[in-house]
Structure 1
Amino acid sequence: MRAPSAGRTAVKRWCLRHLQLLPVLLLLGGALLDYCTPPHFSAEALYTAAPMAAAALLSLRATVLAGIGACAVDFALLTHFGFMGDSGGRSELAAVATVSAFAVVVNRLMYYSDVRLRSARGIALAVQRAVLPEPPASIGPLRIAVRYQSAVKDAQIGGDLYGVQDTPYGVRCVVGDVRGKGMEAVKAVDVALGVFREAAEEEPTLAGVTARLERALIREAGRRTGVERTEGFVTGVLAEIPHSGDELRLINRGHPPPLLLHGGEVRSVYPSEPALPLGLAGLAAGEERTDTVPFPAGATLLLYTDGLTEARNRAGAFYDPVTCLTGRDVPGPDALLDVLLTDVGRHTGGRITDDMALLAVTRSGGYERP
């Protein structure tokens, strides 16, 4: 079934393509209306609207042509009705010419604004690829897929994070959600992922990776001032999938529970002991608890941020991914995430109020790392 967002995009493209005919329709309609009505009636408003519409929708050349056409049509009809000899007719033609010239200026301003916007989007995309690089589609028998949606339209990165690393100790993953918004959240994402990539290769245990993340986020929070100093924590789930065996290890630090899908069944994996988010370890002493759960061939692990489960419909009801995925047979992690995004978009009516990061890993067989 076609996604609703794809249908809306097709409608927008159809409308935009036909809107490009608007300047011509305004000129033709204005000329016809002017010619068929009494002499004292003027379609000046339609003549001035044509070049302004071209300025917003078309190129510089088309805007100039629309302005010339508006002046020519107005001049022809003023001459036809004998109004070019009086001041009223000349004033009307001058007004149409002035608006046409202004339309050219507007067209150039919009062009340069669009150039700057495209440049900003390109920079944002480069930042996203640097901070949140696309993981490999497969590592041994593991098939991997990620999706990221920002709550801010046209933004490429926000406060959610994901990472996948193939290490001597297994494939290690992280999904997290930084408290706060804006550049401070992006800085925390950069710090957390940088430390994760390094620690995942060096630390023999998942608890060691978590401890490194904890220390780094505490240091990062210490550099902040005001209320941001206390909001630099991160909720997150770390997962480790050994190269051999049929199990995985999880550490959950105040994050929504991962989902395990196998044989049409969906199970939420809650931590055996609740823990505070990363960066808040100083508020509670205790040993890091690692949970081990079965992860047989054919199973899929889904890590996500609360932008998924806290997505609301118009009635205020939260989205439930378990209901969507239970009993559903999906061929792989990419298809799984596409199904989720389509369903949550249908649930919310396309309104995204929070960032959303999704990471799915499907196991298809055994693997020994070289």
Structure 2
Amino acid sequence: MFAPVTFTGAPFFAAAPLVAAPFATSRDTVGVGVLAAVGESLLQIIRGRLPTEPFLIELTTVLTVAALAVVINALIRRGDRRLASMQNVAAVAQRAVLPVPPERIGGLDVAAQYEAAEADAFIGGDLYAVQDTPYGVRMVLGDVRGKGLGAVEAVSVVIGAFREAAEQEPTVEGVAQRLERALAREGLRRRALDAFEGFTTAVLAEVPRGAAELRLVNRGHTEPLLLERDGRLRVLTPGEHALPLGMGELGAWPDRAEIIDFPPGATLLLYTDGLSEARDARGRFYDPVARLGGRTFPHPRALLTTLTEEVLRYTGGATTDDMALLAVRRPEPPADATTGETAATGETATTGAAGETGPSAAAGTPPAAGASGASREQGGTGGPSGPADAAGSQRPRAVTPRKSFDNK
């Protein structure tokens, strides 16, 4: 009683090419349109309506909609090509600002990785840089507020200022102050935070030449992690929290570097909040401390690959923020079979007259330096804390007492 007097399949046949247009190729879209027209014709033949006027009207409707679907498909394909071209340009631009560092810098193993939150959003505000300088290997990892071209411009300012300051400033604290002034100058020049992103959280690190230590300055960024060769993990929480870079108008901030032991086999991991704020389907955050504790990795590249794969699995591929990772490892010295020097400690076993054994200073290390680390930490003459100036005198360095961190 509620059935229509006549049934027509024209609306369904007309919808088929429209559904295929956004996803199929041009050839497939044309094929679906042809099949829809053939299907409509067969249906009308079965019903005995060929070649009546209603049949011709329905067939014309199906063919018209199929032609429209082909046009829509062509427009979508053109947009995809333009998007792919823009992605390529963005990728080239970002790699120019954030080039992939060599795997070996200043005797340290290095790996860096940038993962965009979306496939079509490669331009972001995360940054990293590593540089071998006269004062040791220096690095920075940070996160600029915002996205898009404004964030990329801020990234270029920070990276450019870092590379210049890292070569000139005798202390890592001085490098941080140079970055602060560079962002302040750029902000004054543009006068609008809409065009220039307002601030940058960052961690600056330095591995002085010949010293098994790290010097860290944290400007409002996520705490770095230190993975030791035996699987122990330390969260390098700063003793005093500081404001991000670019917020100097709120008051002067005296940077103080934290000094941390950096033994052979240890790996320093710097990362942005795209890692620690990645969420699973239930909204739970990814915890790198819990995930990495007790694990060892032969090379920084293996560590970053593992983290990237785990985050993708944890989030189901639906990450919401860009993720920048930087890992630096102090390699273990090779074992010397002739002297008995160990790769783990660099000490040589000696036997006394009574048959007792004990560690002696490593080859090439003066006894005074082995007896006390004070001269090394205070930048005394001949120490590794900084190069001599033009007159041959050693430039002093600002140092804070060595800090220990709780094992996690």
Contact 2:151 2:196 in 1 (8 A): no
Q: Give distance in 1, aligned partners of 2:99 and 2:115.
A: 14
SS of the residue corresponding to residue 223 of structure 1 reads helix
Q: Which amino acid aligns with 1:203?
A: E
Aligned residue number for residue 115 of structure 1: 81
Aligned residue number for residue 381 of structure 2: none
Residues 181-210 of structure 1 deviation map (CA, whole Å, 9 limit, x = unaligned)? 333222111100111112222323212222
Residues 268-294 of structure 1 deviation map (CA, whole Å, 9 limit, x = unaligned)? 112233222212234333532122211
The 5 Å alignment of 1:1-370 reads 41-139=7-105, 141-225=107-191, 228=194, 232-262=198-228, 263-365=230-332
Q: Which amino acid aligns with 1:139?
A: I
Given the superposition, is the C-alpha separation of residues 165 and 328 from structure 1 closer, same or farther in structure 2, using an over 3 Å criterion? same
SS of the residue corresponding to residue 358 of structure 1 reads strand
SS of the residue corresponding to residue 41 of structure 2 reads helix
Contact 1:243 1:366 in 2 (8 A): no
Q: CA deviation at 1:143?
A: 1.9
Residues 304-347 of structure 1 deviation map (CA, whole Å, 9 limit, x = unaligned)? 11222233445554332111011112222122122223333444
Q: Which amino acid aligns with 2:273?
A: D
Contact 2:106 2:137 in 1 (8 A): no
Given the superposition, is the C-alpha separation of residues 351 and 54 from structure 1 closer, same or farther in structure 2, using an over 3 Å criterion? closer
SS of the residue corresponding to residue 226 of structure 2 reads strand
Overall identity of the aligned pairs, in %? 53
Q: Which amino acid aligns with 2:272?
A: T
Q: Give distance in 1, aligned partners of 2:94 and 2:219.
A: 24
Contact 1:203 1:209 in 2 (8 A): yes
Bigger-Rg structure (1/2): 2
Q: CA deviation at 1:116?
A: 1.0
Contact 2:115 2:322 in 1 (8 A): yes
Given the superposition, is the C-alpha separation of residues 76 and 317 from structure 1 closer, same or farther in structure 2, using an over 3 Å criterion? closer
SS of the residue corresponding to residue 324 of structure 2 reads strand
Residues 55-80 of structure 1 deviation map (CA, whole Å, 9 limit, x = unaligned)? 33333333333323332343344345
The TM-score normalised by the length of structure 2 is: 0.73
Q: CA deviation at 1:153?
A: 4.8
Aligned residue number for residue 20 of structure 1: none
Residues 92-127 of structure 1 deviation map (CA, whole Å, 9 limit, x = unaligned)? 111111112112111211111111111111111111
Q: Which amino acid aligns with 2:199?
A: F
Q: CA deviation at 1:176?
A: 0.7
Given the superposition, is the C-alpha separation of residues 295 and 221 from structure 1 closer, same or farther in structure 2, using an over 3 Å criterion? same
Gaps in structure 1 of 5+ consecutive residues: 1-38
Q: Give distance in 1, aligned partners of 2:120 and 2:134.
A: 38
Q: CA deviation at 1:128?
A: 1.2
Q: Give distance in 2, aligned partners of 1:267 and 1:218.
A: 34
Q: Give distance in 2, aligned partners of 1:118 and 1:142.
A: 37
Gaps in structure 2 of 5+ consecutive residues: 335-383, 385-408
Contact 2:106 2:136 in 1 (8 A): no
Given the superposition, is the C-alpha separation of residues 229 and 57 from structure 1 closer, same or farther in structure 2, using an over 3 Å criterion? closer
Q: In the comparison of the two structures, how many residue pairs are matched?
A: 331
The TM-score normalised by the length of structure 1 is: 0.80
SS of the residue corresponding to residue 21 of structure 2 reads helix
Contact 1:324 1:340 in 2 (8 A): no
